[in-house]
């Protein structure tokens, strides 16, 4: 096996590894988010069902081990990404940035006009990353049951 990091499309077969990667990556947010992230409830079965229908996934793997992933789907003429996840042991290697660039490349391949994401207001370090990559705030929204914004919607125009 090669020590090279490869990016590839995830499939339903990868759903257990995707679910495990998301769980491990999002654990750092437990107790920081209100409401708690839906990522804590992700299951391999739910991810496999998403991949069979409306969503896609890009994986970053090395030596057959998934180190990171990101889920994608169409949203109002843009490609939306969520559940950007990198294993704690693989952080600091630029994997999140590579996954985001892969999402943007996929959007260009599909001739879409932009890429969107949502980020929690309290996760300022994530906002800084997205801003550094050219994403701008396009709105804020409140999760169900909240009377104040809890997340920021961001977009990067590709054309």
How is the chain split into domains, by residue range? Answer: 5-115
Largest CA distance in the chain: 52
Rg for the chain, CA atoms, rounded: 15
- HSE at residue 138, side-chain half, CA atoms within 13 A, is 13
Q: Is the dihedral of CA 43, 130, 121, 72 positive or negative?
A: negative
> Does residue 49 surpass a pLDDT of 90?
yes
Lowest mean pLDDT among 20-24, 37-41, 74-78: 37-41
Structure tokens at 18: 């995707």
The whole-number pLDDT of residue 48 equals 95
Calpha distance 100→85 (Å, rounded)? 11
The whole-number pLDDT of residue 1 equals 54
Q: What is the mean pLDDT of the chain?
A: 95
The whole-number pLDDT of residue 20 equals 96
Average pLDDT over residues 2-19: 94
The whole-number pLDDT of residue 96 equals 97
Percent of all residues in the chain with a pLDDT value above 90, rounded to a whole number: 91
Contact between 154 and 116 (Cβ < 8 Å)? yes
Calpha distance 45→9 (Å, rounded)? 18
CATH placement of domain 5-115:
3.40.630.30
The whole-number pLDDT of residue 159 equals 81
The whole-number pLDDT of residue 91 equals 96
Average pLDDT over residues 128-148: 96
Strand pairing of 136-141 and 114-120? unpaired
Confidence of residue 54 (pLDDT cuts 50, 70, 90): confident
Calpha distance 39→2 (Å, rounded)? 31
The whole-number pLDDT of residue 24 equals 96
Percent of all residues in the chain with a pLDDT value above 70, rounded to a whole number: 99
Calpha distance 157→5 (Å, rounded)? 27
pTM of the model: 0.94
């Amino acid at each position: 096996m090669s020590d090279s990091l490869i990016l590839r499309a995830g499939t339903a077969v990868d759903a257990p590894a995707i679910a495990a990667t998301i769980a491990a990556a999002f654990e750092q947010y437990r107790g920081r988010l209100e409401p708690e992230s839906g990522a804590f409830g992700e299951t391999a079965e739910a991810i496999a069902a998403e991949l069979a229908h409306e969503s896609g996934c890009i994986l970053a793997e090395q030596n057959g081990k998934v180190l990171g992933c990101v889920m994608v789907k169409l949203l109002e003429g843009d490609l939306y990404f969520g559940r950007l996840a990198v294993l704690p042991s693989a952080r600091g290697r630029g994997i999140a940035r590579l996954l985001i660039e892969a999402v943007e490349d996929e959007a260009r391949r599909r001739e879409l006009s932009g890429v969107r994401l949502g980020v929690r207001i309290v996760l300022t370090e994530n906002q800084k990353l997205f801003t550094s990559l050219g994403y701008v705030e396009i709105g804020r929204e409140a999760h169900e049951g909240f009377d104040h914004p809890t997340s920021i919607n961001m977009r990067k125009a590709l054309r």
